[in-house]
């Protein structure tokens, strides 16, 4: 997928060029002005301008299932060559067949747990090399383009806009922390130390004289729902003033953000655009959106409609090109 040069120029000169004029864009721009103009009564010092973003379904496409699960599937393919009995046992059987409907029975946590465990024994550096190589070649099963080209252009613009206004952007993802790190620096300009996510336990070892941190099979943290604010407290140590999510897995983070003192902005992306991306919410078993949508007003959450608030989704019409 080539980025359109005109779009790129527009991005450089007009903030949030891929956002349509409307209440969501207005809410973002008003908020940023309120917290960054020095004479504003709601001015927030740079050091406190923390923004947290979910990744799957918020910064890039998570349909028909989270990208990470394809990466794990490929690793399981390798393991199944050594141990063919995996093909007869669930959840490996469904995983190996990429039988998404069957996989959904195991839930996001169950699938992630198996996926992370499949990388046990890797050092941090080995995992990074594998993840980057995979991201450089793995393609979306329906849309044909590389997964890494399925980040949302309006969100990349938003990250740039916030950064230009002194915000420090963090990803707080239910996905595996290290696979998202392998993506985030190039795709979003977010360095590894600003990625918080699910993780396995590790060990420290000396291998051939070299000190290494090695992934273990056991889950350390499943960074979803109430664990997101807990991990924000652990990793960041400040309450964000802006958060952006797209599912009930982000609701605790949104409420944690919105119930702090002073100005706050909580945003929820609603996938209501079946033409340019996918339309789904409460029925998506691997990351449903129910409570956050039903109670958005009550909690002060600003809902962003992909269909009406975004001028483009990916920067090029990937879905129609694939059809």
Q: Residues in the site for its own copies, rule: CB under 8 A? A: 47, 50, 124-125, 168, 170, 177-178, 181, 185, 191-195, 199, 202-204, 206, 209-213, 220, 226-227, 229-230, 232-239, 252, 255-256, 258-259
Q: Which of 53, 293, 283 is nearest to 157 (CA)?
A: 53
CB 94 within 8 A of CB 138: no
Q: How far is CA 226 from the centre of its chain?
A: 16
* Cβ nearer to its own copies, comparing 245 with 315: 245
User: What's the min distance (Å) between Cβ of 320 and its own copies?
Assistant: 36
> Residue 199, by phi and psi: left (phi above 0), alpha (psi -120 to 50) or beta?
beta
Rounded to a whole number of angstroms, the minimum distance from the CB of residue 178 to its own copies is 7
Cα-Cα-Cα-Cα dihedral of 132, 136, 141, 147, to 10°? Answer: 70
E strands in the chain? 50-53, 168-176, 195-207, 210-221, 242-245, 265-270, 302-305
Nearer to its own copies, 83 or 125 (CB): 125
Q: How far is the CB of 169 from its own copies (least distance, A)?
A: 12
First to last CA, the chain: 15
What's the rounded Cα separation, in Å, for the pair 145 and 163? 28
Least spacing, CB of residue 268 vs its own copies, in Å: 16
Contact (CB, 8 A) for 67 and 74: no
Supply the minimum distance, in Å, between the C-beta of residue 239 and its own copies.
8
Triad 279, 280, 282: Cα angle to 5°: 160
Q: Pick between residue 235 and residue 307 the one whose CB is nearest to its own copies.
A: 235
**20 or 199: whose CB is closer to its own copies?**
199
Measured in whole angstroms, the distance separating CA 153 from the mean position of its chain's CA atoms is 14
Distance in angstroms (rounded) separating the CA atoms of residues 18 and 266:
20
State how beta strands 242-245 and 210-221 pair.
Answer: unpaired
Residue 35 or 180: which CB sits closer to its own copies? Answer: 180
Neighbours of 38 (CB within 10 A): 5
Smaller CB separation from its own copies, 99 or 185: 185
> Shortest approach of its own copies to residue 287 CB, angstroms?
19
CB of 322 to its own copies, least distance (A): 33
Q: For residues 30 and 186, which CB has a smaller minimum distance to its own copies in the complex?
A: 186
Q: What DSSP element (H or E) covers 277?
A: none
Nearer to its own copies, 18 or 194 (CB): 194
Q: How far is the CB of 97 from its own copies (least distance, A)?
A: 33
């Amino acid at each position: 997928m080539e980025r359109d040069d005109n779009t790129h120029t527009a991005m450089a000169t007009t903030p949030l060029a891929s956002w349509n004029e409307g209440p969501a864009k207005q809410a973002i721009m008003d908020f940023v002005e309120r917290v960054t103009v020095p004479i504003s009564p709601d001015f927030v010092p740079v050091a406190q301008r923390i923004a947290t973003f979910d990744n799957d379904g918020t910064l890039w496409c998570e349909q028909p299932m989270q990208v990470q699960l394809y990466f794990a599937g490929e690793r399981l393919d390798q393991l199944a060559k050594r141990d063919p009995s995996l093909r007869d046992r669930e959840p490996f059987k469904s995983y190996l067949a990429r039988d998404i409907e069957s996989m959904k029975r195991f839930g996001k946590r169950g699938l992630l747990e198996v996926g992370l465990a499949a990388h046990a024994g890797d050092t941090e550096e080995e995992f990074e090399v594998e993840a980057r190589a995979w991201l450089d070649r793995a393609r979306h099963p329906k849309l044909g383009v590389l997964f890494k080209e399925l980040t949302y252009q309006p969100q990349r613009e938003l990250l740039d806009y916030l950064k230009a206004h002194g915000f420090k952007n963090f990803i707080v993802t239910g996905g595996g922390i290290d696979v998202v790190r392998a993506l985030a620096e190039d795709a979003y300009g977010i360095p590894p130390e600003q990625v918080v996510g699910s993780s396995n336990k590790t060990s420290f070892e000396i291998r051939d004289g070299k000190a290494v941190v090695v992934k273990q099979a056991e889950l350390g943290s499943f960074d979803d729902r109430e664990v997101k604010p807990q991990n924000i407290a652990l990793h960041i140590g400040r309450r964000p003033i802006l958060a952006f999510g797209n599912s009930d897995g982000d609701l605790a983070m949104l409420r944690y953000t919105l119930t702090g003192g002073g100005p706050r902005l909580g945003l929820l992306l609603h996938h209501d655009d079946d033409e340019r991306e996918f339309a789904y919410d409460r029925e998506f078993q691997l990351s449903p959106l129910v409570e956050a949508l039903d109670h958005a007003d009550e909690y002060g959450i600003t809902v962003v409609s992909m269909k009406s608030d975004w001028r483009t989704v990916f920067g090029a019409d990937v879905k129609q090109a694939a059809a």
